[in-house]
Structure 1
Amino acid sequence: MEKCALRIITLLLSMLLLAGCSSMQQSIHDAAINYETSAAGLESQELTFEYGELSILRTPEMRDNRQTLILVHGFGANKENWLKLAQQLEGEYNIIAPDLPGHGDSVQDPGLAYGIPRQAQRLMQLLDRLEIEHAHLAGNSMGGAIVAVAAAEYPERVASLALLNTAGIHDHPAELDRHLARGENPLVLDDPSDYDELMAFAMNEPPFIPWPVSAVMAREAYGNRDINRKIFEDMEADREMDFRAMLARIQAPTLVLWGADDRIIDAANAPLVAEAIPDSRLEILQDIAHMPMIEAPEKTAQLMRALIREAAGNSGQQAGLN
């Protein structure tokens, strides 16, 4: 019995020592992401555009009898931010979640422009490549602004729009704005050890991430600090655009969803976004911060299902009148 216990202890210690090795951490991270991706019924795909490589997660078999849902992440994030939500919706929709240029596994070229309108154009290029004529769009933070611009510019291609803590209107400053006024940007890591603070800044209760996995995420976020600064500068330049006028052009049924405790874009801006969009519904989630698709995936999925059903019903009624 003592020898058996000793073997178990030795094995556990060996695993802990291996977990401290960066290559082992990467292997554990990759295995965890692959598991979550498979649980969502998705697979990865690499596509080449004139600006470089684009990495996406997608439903392997796109079915004609399913609605198509495009999920667009926020600043400094990646396509894997949508996995918990995608698991809630698995089997219900054709799902596409790209790594935007500058993010994740997609091209990171400091020579590219990463402003909101340019990223919206690239998103539509992706839909063209995948031969998707009509889709439901959802975006978080910067991704919300991108899908909102896409809905305004290409109304005939957008069936519905879900804006989660969207960037664009910043009349009410958030805690992030106060940091920026002091020359600090907590969204861009100065050291990998700041990663846990970043997660706590973005979410009230970040999901549990095993240390070997979070260590890889921290290194990646730190390694992306230069391209993230470039993207943030391009995004900040877009604050000069008349975002309200753009929102007023949106024709698709829209869900404006916000976490009440958002420290990055204050929830007081949520009613202003909803007021600017002609056919919109506002939902504020209590005890949730900036990323409802991670913090409250079940509730977020429920609200998005209702939006898609409403949009599909409206489309059917209009088709019957034509």
Structure 2
Amino acid sequence: MRRWRVSWKTVAVLAAVFVCALALWVWRDPMLLVRAEFARQRWSAGLSLHEAEVAGHRWAYVERAARDPAAPTLVMIHGFTGSKENWYPLAERLAGQYRVVIPDLPGWGASERKPGEDYGFDAQNRRVAEFIARVARRPGSPLVLLGHSMGGGIVALTAADRPDLVDRVGLIDAAGVRFRDNVFGEQVLAGHNPFAVRDEASLKRYLDTVFHREEARPVIPWPASRALVDWRRAQAPFEQAVLDRIGRGPEAFLPGQAAGHIEQPTLLLWCAEDRVIDPSALELYGERIPQAVKVRLSDCGHMSIVERPDEVAAAVDYLIRNGVPR
């Protein structure tokens, strides 16, 4: 039998060719690194990608089955400038216990956006209800609807409007009430978008605003950071239009008003260092939802679902097992 001998020199040349090819690929597609990291997180959480046509939009979503077919279904709704990927750390902590369905809201992430459409609180509420009815809800399986930030405001409306679809509710750092003044809120009321990203400096400021713990902040290497800045700059008109509706328009406090009609077992969870939705919102929602379990975490900011996924998972599990209705 003939034996092939490969010298170290040959291995080095092949490795150099591979590295050069990878560098060229990343140069042509700088977001490759970001997508690869999201794919790794999705795989680690056992989630699979899907699409569905619902409420006049193409939805991108991920799903994972539970060991028990009758286990509760968790539907997770992301916030302003967010996407389904924000929930991956939490989904990984809940692996196997519950069925998980996480969509990109219409207009955001990989889901469809249509010119001239309304993507405010109430319009998204109606779309989420239809998504639950057609994609997520299963007979004999309780449905738990979780919302973060803007998604929390949407979830409050859906839970109040459609108790036939939603059995448990989780509002996490949720928008939709007149919380104590902070820099973020003042800028929104003045007509600005505090989340706007125009360059590397504003990207850093954005991450500094939503994250408290340094080690939890995502590392975005160049040239991915350059591509992300370019992409966010292109999103600026859409972001501003949505913020005009949910931040200072007539819908701004609609979720808080609807919260008084939420009768399902509810979780309210905030981080003490949230610089976006001030923690005073926890008590404001609590006044309207007296049956709610209230959880306040320390040493984390607005992205509690990324910074403290273990604690959030424990709180969600408690809601499912011990929550009581009004």
Q: 2:269 is paired with a residue of what secondary structure?
A: strand
Cα RMSD between the aligned structures?
2.8
Q: CA deviation at 1:7?
A: 6.4
Partner Cα distance (2:225, 2:186) in 1: 27
Q: CA deviation at 1:153?
A: 0.6
Q: 2:58: which partner in 1?
A: 53
Runs of 4+ in 1 over 6 A off after TM superposition: 2-9
Residue 261 (structure 1) aligned with residue 269 (structure 2):
no
Q: CA deviation at 1:62?
A: 8.7
Distance verdict in 2 for CA 1:4–1:283, change over 3 Å: farther
Q: 1:170: which partner in 2?
A: 178
Distance verdict in 2 for CA 1:132–1:243, change over 3 Å: closer
Residue ranges of structure 2 left out of the alignment (5+ in a row) = 1-7
Q: 1:130 is paired with a residue of what secondary structure?
A: helix
Partner residue of 1:141 out of 144, 149, 167 = 149
Give the letter for the 1:146 counterpart.
Answer: I
Partner Cα distance (2:14, 2:239) in 1: 44
Partner Cα distance (2:190, 2:122) in 1: 28
Question: Which one is further off, 150-159 or 207-216?
Answer: 207-216
Q: CA deviation at 1:276?
A: 1.0
Q: Percent identity?
A: 27
Q: 2:118 is paired with a residue of what secondary structure?
A: coil
Q: 1:319: which partner in 2?
A: none
Q: 1:28: which partner in 2?
A: 33
Q: CA deviation at 1:269?
A: 2.0
8 Å contact kept, 2:198–2:230: no
Partner Cα distance (2:187, 2:67) in 1: 44
Instruction: Tell me the number of residue pairs that the alignment of Structure 1 and Structure 2 aligns.
Output: 312
Partner Cα distance (1:50, 1:281) in 2: 32
Give the letter for the 1:184 counterpart.
Answer: H
Q: 1:118: which partner in 2?
A: 123
Q: CA deviation at 1:278?
A: 2.6
8 Å contact kept, 1:101–1:107: yes
Question: Which one is further off, 240-249 or 111-120?
Answer: 240-249
Partner Cα distance (1:62, 1:219) in 2: 42
8 Å contact kept, 2:93–2:313: yes
The CA deviation string for residues 239-286 of structure 1, in whole angstroms up to 9 with x for no partner, is 455544411110111111001111111112211111210311211111
Question: Which one is further off, 48-57 or 178-187?
Answer: 178-187
Partner Cα distance (1:137, 1:241) in 2: 20
Distance verdict in 2 for CA 1:62–1:3, change over 3 Å: closer
Q: 1:250: which partner in 2?
A: 262
Partner residue of 1:225 out of 236, 239, 244 = 236
Q: CA deviation at 1:49?
A: 2.9
The CA deviation string for residues 259-317 of structure 1, in whole angstroms up to 9 with x for no partner, is 11111111122111112103112111111111110010111101111111114xx69xx
Q: 1:273: which partner in 2?
A: 285
Distance verdict in 2 for CA 1:258–1:8, change over 3 Å: farther
Distance verdict in 2 for CA 1:242–1:101, change over 3 Å: closer
8 Å contact kept, 1:170–1:265: no
8 Å contact kept, 2:26–2:33: no
Give the letter for the 2:161 counterpart.
Answer: E
Give the letter for the 1:170 counterpart.
Answer: R
Q: 1:284 is paired with a residue of what secondary structure?
A: strand
Residue 209 (structure 1) aligned with residue 219 (structure 2):
yes
Distance verdict in 2 for CA 1:62–1:5, change over 3 Å: closer
8 Å contact kept, 1:139–1:146: yes
